[in-house]
Amino acid sequence: MEIPLETLVHHVIAISKEAGQFLKKEAEGFTPDMIELKGHNNLVSYVDKACEEMIVERLREVLPEAGFITEEGTVASSEQSLQWVIDPLDGTTNFVHGLPIYSVSLALVRDKQAILGVVYEVNRDECFHAIKGKGAFCNGKPIRVSNATQINESLLATGFPYNDFGKMMPYLNILNELMKSSHGLRRMGSAAVDLAYVACGRFEAFFEFNLNSWDVAAGVLLVTEAGGTVTDFKGGDNYIFGRELIAGCGIQSELLGTIKKFWLD
């Protein structure tokens, strides 16, 4: 059965905004004693869990045949060809420290390929969405990646691992090279926001390793539908489930070359 994605996306946008308003309201009274640890430096709270439960319930109503991949394990991951990939609060560490950079990230994937994605950046009230083959938008207006073609005219985004430091030296070598050759590096703390900002041209590229599918599934569709390119660190296409990615505009090839020079598998 053909899924009416153009109709479905409006429901997903509404769900993301409902979730975002819940996050913003809970942020007002959030205190450090509400934090839990899933692992070393891996923070979670009742906010993440309650928000995810709400999102799952709403998405089941609009597309009951789809399975789920969820960060907080509200439902068990399924092997269905059609799946929602959900991050109810991308940027939890920012949230618990009171930094206003976090988002809701919702993607629909078919056979592990994103076909619909929504990233709602809560505090700027910016809702990014894309449907495969239909372009990318921010608050309903079309967006495109930057026109830059060289790293030396680019602002780059990245992220740092919080619990797996086995590859830090090659990664630091990459950062050292790019600090010298670009306009600068930024670490926002939400991969979904980073990817949305690449899609609308605020960053020329974003790269990171040790990522999860729920961090990136929606954002990579935004980038590709906005005219950008996404690869893994080898230049391949295993970037949603492969735990590493590079997403960018016309600097993609040069950036990939820099990363390959230092990165060790």
CATH number, domain containing residue 220: 3.40.190.80
Rounded Cα distance between 11 and 129, Å, is 12
Reported as a pLDDT band with limits 50, 70 and 90, residue 72 is: confident
Q: At what angle do helices 5-27 and 46-62 cross, to 10 degrees?
A: 160
Q: Supply the pLDDT for residue 30.
A: 74
Q: Which two tokens stand for residue 12?
A: 């997903």
First to last CA, the chain: 41
Rounded Cα distance between 187 and 83, Å, is 29
Question: Are residues 179 and 128 part of one domain?
Answer: no
Q: How many domains does the chain have?
A: 2
Tokens 């394990």 — which residue?
73
Q: Supply the pLDDT for residue 75.
A: 81
Question: Are residues 138 and 156 part of one domain?
Answer: no
Rounded Cα distance between 232 and 225, Å, is 17
Question: Are residues 233 and 126 part of one domain?
Answer: no
The share of the chain scoring above pLDDT 70, in percent, equals 92
Boundary residue ending a domain (122, 142, 162) = 142
pLDDT of 239 higher than 70: yes
Question: Are residues 131 and 56 part of one domain?
Answer: yes
Question: Are residues 174 and 136 part of one domain?
Answer: no
Least confident of 20-29, 158-167, 235-244: 158-167
Sequence-distant (6+) residues with CB within 8 A of 5 are 108, 115, 116, 131, 132, 134
The mean per-residue pLDDT over the stretch 63-75 comes to 89
Residue 202 DSSP code: S
pLDDT of 1 higher than 60: no
pLDDT of 99 higher than 60: yes
Question: Are residues 162 and 138 part of one domain?
Answer: no
Residue whose C-alpha is closest to residue 72's, from 95, 98, 43, 96: 43
Tokens 């059965």 — which residue?
1
Ramachandran quadrant class, 123 (left: phi over 0; alpha: psi -120 to 50; beta: rest): alpha
Q: How many CB atoms lie within 10 A of CB 8?
A: 17
Range list of H helices, the chain: 5-27, 46-62, 92-96, 168-181, 191-199, 213-225, 252-262
Rounded Cα distance between 206 and 197, Å, is 9
Boundary residue ending a domain (87, 107, 142) = 142
Question: Are residues 161 and 136 part of one domain?
Answer: no
Q: What is the CATH number of the domain that holds 93?
A: 3.30.540.10
Task: Please give the angle made by the CA atoms of 186, 239 and 95, to the nearest 5 degrees.
Answer: 45
pTM: 0.94
Residue 34 vs residue 185, higher pLDDT: 185
Rg (CA), the chain: 17
Question: Are residues 165 and 104 part of one domain?
Answer: no
Reported as a pLDDT band with limits 50, 70 and 90, residue 41 is: very low
Question: Are residues 138 and 24 part of one domain?
Answer: yes
Rounded Cα distance between 240 and 244, Å, is 8
Boundary residue ending a domain (103, 122, 142) = 142
* Domain interval for residue 210: 151-262
Residue 242 vs residue 31, higher pLDDT: 242
Q: How do residues 173-200 score in pLDDT, each as one tens digit? A: 999 999 999 999 999 999 999 999 999 9
Question: Are residues 121 and 30 part of one domain?
Answer: yes
Question: Are residues 244 and 224 part of one domain?
Answer: yes
pLDDT of 78 higher than 70: no
Question: Are residues 138 and 254 part of one domain?
Answer: no
Chain centroid to CA 234: 20
Q: Supply the pLDDT for residue 79.
A: 72
3-state SS, residue 39: strand
Q: Supply the pLDDT for residue 42.
A: 47
Reported as a pLDDT band with limits 50, 70 and 90, residue 36 is: low
Residue 28 vs residue 124, higher pLDDT: 124
